[in-house]
Amino acid sequence: MTTTRAVIGIGTNVGDRLATLEASIWTLHETDGISVADVSGIWETAPWGGVDQDPYLNAVVVIETSLGPHELLADLQATEAVFGRDRDSEVRWGPRTLDLDILLYGDEVIDTPDLVVPHPRIEERAFVLVPLLEVLPGLTLPTGTRLTAALAALAPFDGMDLHIRLPDVPGRQGIQRPEGPSGGRAWLAGDPDH
Residue 130 lies in a domain: yes
Q: Which of 17, 75, 85, 125 is catalytic?
A: 85
- Look at residue 176 in the predicted model and tell me its pLDDT: 54
β pairing state of 56-65 and 34-39: antiparallel
**Residue 96 is a catalytic residue:** yes
**Which of 63, 18, 15, 23 lies closest to 39 in space, CA to CA?**
63
Residue 15 lies in a domain: yes
Residue 193 lies in a domain: no
69 preceded by a cis bond (ω within 30 of 0): no
CATH of the domain at 65: 3.30.70.560
Residue 181 lies in a domain: no
- Look at residue 58 in the predicted model and tell me its pLDDT: 93
**Residue 185 is a catalytic residue:** no
Helix (H, G, I), strand (E, B) or coil at 165: strand
**Residue 168 is a catalytic residue:** no
Domain count, the chain: 1
Q: Which of 96, 121, 168, 191 is catalytic?
A: 96
181 preceded by a cis bond (ω within 30 of 0): no
- Look at residue 1 in the predicted model and tell me its pLDDT: 78
Q: How far apart are CA 39 and CA 72, in angstroms?
A: 18
- Structural domain including 41 reads 4-164
Q: How many residues does this entry show for the chain?
A: 194
Residue 187 lies in a domain: no
Q: Which of 17, 38, 75, 99 is catalytic?
A: 99
Residue 144 lies in a domain: yes
- Look at residue 86 in the predicted model and tell me its pLDDT: 73
Residue 34 lies in a domain: yes
- Look at residue 187 in the predicted model and tell me its pLDDT: 27
Name 170's Cβ contacts closer than 8 Å, sequence gap at least 6: 25, 26, 29, 35, 36, 39
Q: Which of 17, 38, 75, 101 is catalytic?
A: 101
Residue 173 lies in a domain: no
Tens digit of each residue's pLDDT, the chain (194 residues): 799 999 999 999 988 999 999 999 999 999 999 999 999 999 998 876 666 778 889 999 999 999 999 999 999 999 999 988 777 666 666 678 899 999 999 999 999 999 999 988 888 888 899 999 999 988 999 889 999 999 899 888 777 888 888 877 777 655 555 554 444 333 223 333 33
Distance (Å) of CA 29 to CA 113, 160, 161: 27, 27, 26
**Residue 172 is a catalytic residue:** no
